[in-house]
Amino acid sequence: MSKLYTARDIEALIAKGADLTDAANGRLTPMARDLLRQQKIKPGKPAAAANPSGTPRIHEPALPDYEYHWIPGGDPKTAAEIEKFFYSPEIQVIKERICHIGRRIWDKGYVDGNGGNITVRVGDNLVLCTPTLISKGFMTPDDLCLVDLDGNQVAGTRPRTSEVNTHLGIMKNEPKAKSCVHAHPVYATAFAVAGVTPPACLIPEPEVFLGEIGLASYQTPGTPENAREVGALAKKHQSILMQNHGVICWGKDVEDAYWKMENTDAFCQTVTVTMQLGGPKQYGTDKLRELIQLRQKLGMPDHRLDELKECELCDAGDTTVNTAPQPSASSCSCQIGPEPSGGEPDEALVQQITDLIMKQLK
C-alpha cells in the first residue's frame, strides 16, 4: 500500500523545498490535502514538471494561509444543505484544527476540567464551536457543533458551549475575528482576577504580535452582558482579560487566536517574575511607536497611534472599562518627562509600577 502522507510530512517536505509530486499522488490525510492545495498543488495531480537541468526545484517562499474564506451570501440555507456542509471535507479540516488546538491548550495547562472553548467562523452566519462539558484535550471532530451568529445550534450532536455568545460578540463587532480561543491560563487569569493589565514598553514581541491587552469588567460568563462587554473591546484588542474569569483572544484562524493566548500568558508570567526581580524597566515611547507601526504593517489593528498622545503610549492600559486602578495610570503619564538621556528609566516610575502591580497582585 502507498505511503500515507500527514500534514506533518507535507510541512517537512515544504520546509526542505522537496518535490511534492509523490505526495500529491499518494494517500493523504485531510489536513495534508489542504496543505497541498495551499501550495497550489492539486492532490491527485502531478506537481509541476521537474527541472530538466536536474538541479533542485526552487519554491517561492510563501506563508501558509489557514484563514477560512467563504463566499459572501453563499451560506448553506436548508437543513440538508447545512448538514452536508457541516460534514464536508473542507469543514472536517477546520474541525481537526480545532481539536488540535484544544489538545494544545490542555497540554499547556491553560484549561482544566471542561474549561475553555474555541470557535471558527465559516460563513456570514455560521460558526463552528466546541461543545459544552467536554475536556478540550480529548475532543474529536464529531464532538463539534455549528451555530449561527445568534448562538442557535444548527448542526452537531452535542450541545454547544454557553460561552459561545462571548465569541459571537467579538465576531459581530470585528469582522477580522475569524476565530476565538478562550481559556484560563494561570498567569494571565491572575492578572484578570487582580484587575490589571501588563504595562506597555516592556517587551517588543507582545507589542507587535499581541498589541495592547484589553480588560473587560466582570459579567457572568455566557450572558449577553458579557458578550456586549467583551465584544465592544474586540476592535481595539486581540487579547482581552475578562475580569475574575479568564482570557479570550481572536485571530484570523484558530492557530493565530491560540498564539495570542500563548503570547498573553507568557507576557503576564514574565511581568510577574520581573516583579520579583525588582520591577520592570521600560523602553521609551519612540521605540514603542516603531513597534506599533511594525504591527500595523503586518495588517494587525492597533488604535494607539491614532488615539493616544505620544506621552500616553507607555500608559497603554484600558482605563475605560477597568474597575481597578491600572498600573498604567502612573507608569508613564504626560507629566513625566522623556527618558533620561543616559537611557536609564526613571527609578521612581519603575517603583510606582512595581508597587501598584505588587499591591494588586497581593
Between 20 and 213, CB nearer to Zn ion: 213
Question: Of 11, 90, 163, 347, which residue is the catalytic one?
Answer: 163
Q: How far is the CB of 209 from Zn ion (least distance, A)?
A: 23
Between 231 and 246, CB nearer to Zn ion: 246
- Can you tell me which residue has the cell 470585528? 174
Q: Which of residues 213-252 bind Zn ion (CB under 5 A)?
A: 246
Q: Which of residues 130-189 bind Zn ion (CB under 5 A)?
A: none
Per-residue DSSP letter, 278: T
Report the distance separating Cα 235 and Cα 157, nearest Å: 33
Q: How far is the CB of 267 from Zn ion (least distance, A)?
A: 20
Report the distance separating Cα 328 and Cα 319, nearest Å: 8
- Can you tell me which residue has the cell 471535507? 89
Contacts for 78 with CB less than 8 Å, ≥ 6 apart: none
Q: Which amino acid is at 328?
A: S
163 labelled catalytic = yes
Q: Give me the 260-299 binding string for Zn ion, x by CB under 5 A, dash otherwise.
A: ----------------------------------------
Between 131 and 246, CB nearer to Zn ion: 246
Between 108 and 287, CB nearer to Zn ion: 108
Report the distance separating Cα 352 and Cα 232, nearest Å: 30
Question: How many residues of this chain bind Zn ion (CB under 5 A)?
Answer: 1
Strands 239-242 and 145-147: what pairing? unpaired
Report the distance separating Cα 272 and Cα 190, nearest Å: 10
Q: How far is the CB of 102 from Zn ion (least distance, A)?
A: 14
Q: How far is the CB of 221 from Zn ion (least distance, A)?
A: 5
Between 25 and 217, CB nearer to Zn ion: 217
Q: Which residue is nearest to Zn ion (CB)?
A: 246
Q: Residue 76's closest CA among 150, 119, 126, 127?
A: 126
Q: How far is the CB of 78 from Zn ion (least distance, A)?
A: 34
CA-derived radius of gyration, the chain: 23
Report the distance separating Cα 197 and Cα 248, nearest Å: 14
User: Which residues sit at the interface with Zn ion, rule CB under 5 A?
Assistant: 246
Positions marked active-site: 163
